[in-house]
Structure 1
Amino acid sequence: MRKFTLLAAAAATALSLSACSEKTQDAAETTAESAGNDVANAADKAAAATDELGDKAAAAVDNAAAKTDEMADKAAAKTKQEAAEAEASLHNESVAEAKAD
């Protein structure tokens, strides 16, 4: 009878431990899922921030290109004007006549 009592107590202890182990596994699984979701959310936010920075950088490059084109056009116009003035002076003619040549 004593062996039976010890065996029953051991079985009850094993069942209790397996129940605790199952609860622990469930808690660990929930924690892992939560951590995975946190990582996924952080990755999504980082991707969105990277996209936003990329868009800002592209806009800055476009703006710089437009300004460069504008400055090049102004420089070309100034050079053309100065060339016409030099030709007019050289040929004793008006700047308009030099531009027409």
Structure 2
Amino acid sequence: MKLHALAALALLSAPLAACGGKGDDALASNVEAAGENQADALEATADNLEDRAEAIEDNAEDRAEAVDDSDINTETMTPEQKAAVVNGSATVQ
């Protein structure tokens, strides 16, 4: 019975031994919080980039529709003029 009592006492005191009181729990908590903050910032950046990509895509669709609606004669355009329309530095009327 004494052996069982000692074994039970050892098992119950094991979790307390892990809390050495040396500040490691607080440090670990700070490490985790810093990682979560970095992840949150990265996710916010990703959301912003996704919004920007969607805006670029929407703009390209609008420009493509304008080109299609214009019925412009592309055979009279130079390669430079076509490139300017494609990259958005020129528009069609």
Q: TM-score, normalised by structure 1?
A: 0.51
The residue that corresponds to 1:63 in the other structure is 59
Give, in angstroms, the shift of residue 38 of structure 1. Answer: 0.3
RMSD: 1.6
Spell out the pairing of 1:1-101 with structure 2 (5 A cutoff): 22-24=20-22, 27-75=23-71, 78=72
Partner Cα separation in structure 2 for residue 33 and residue 54 of structure 1: 31
Q: In structure 2, give the amino acid aligned to 1:22.
A: G
Deviations along 1:15-52, one digit per CA (max 9) or x if unpaired, are: xxxxxx7322xx11111000000000011000000000
Structure 2 letter corresponding to 1:53: L
Structure 1 unaligned spans of 5+: 1-20, 80-101
Distance in 2, Cα, partners of 1:58 & 1:23: 51
Task: Give the aligned length.
Answer: 55
**Equivalent in the alignment of 1:89:** none
TM-score by length of 2: 0.55
Runs of at least 4 residues off by over 3 Å: none
AA in 2 matched with 1:36: E
CA offset at residue 72 of structure 1? 0.4
**Percent sequence identity over matched residues?**
25
The structure showing larger relative contact order (alpha-carbon pairs under 8 Å, at least 6 residues apart) is: 2
